[in-house]
Amino acid sequence: MSELKLYEVFIRAKSGLNHRHVGSLHASDAQMALLNARDVYTRRKEGVSIWVVEAEHVTASNPEQEHEWFDPAEDKVYRHPTFYPLDKEVENM
């Protein structure tokens, strides 16, 4: 039996918030994926907008390279405002 395509489902809980990944489901096309996502992931008003993306179209970073990729940000403390002490007189900036 050939399985239907896998779709990843993203939901915006209310306007003003980002769409967030909530899970996945199988469907034969994007329209069916949307309908099914509506039925299973928003039965209690969990969302006001849905995105579905074919799972195979998601390109992900490699977890084995997590350190090479993300650690360099660690020693760049000068990217944060707290790196710059202020004189008492100008306390609010």
Q: Which residues bind other proteins (CB under 8 A)?
A: 1-6, 8, 22-29, 32, 40-41, 43-44, 55-56, 58, 60, 62-64
Query: From the CB of 16, what's the least distance to other proteins, in Å?
Result: 21
Complex with other proteins: residue 1 or 77, whichever CB lies closer: 1
Complex with other proteins: residue 16 or 63, whichever CB lies closer: 63
Query: What burial letters (b/e) apply to 44-72, b meaning 16+ CB within 10 Å?
Result: eeebeebbbbeeeeeeeeeeeeeeeeeee
Query: From the CB of 92, what's the least distance to other proteins, in Å?
Result: 37
Complex with other proteins: residue 44 or 76, whichever CB lies closer: 44
Query: From the CB of 49, what's the least distance to other proteins, in Å?
Result: 18
4 DSSP 8-state letter: P
CA-to-CA distance for 52 and 33, rounded, in angstroms? 7
Q: Is 16 helix (H, G, I), strand (E, B) or coil?
A: coil
CA-to-CA distance for 19 and 12, rounded, in angstroms? 4
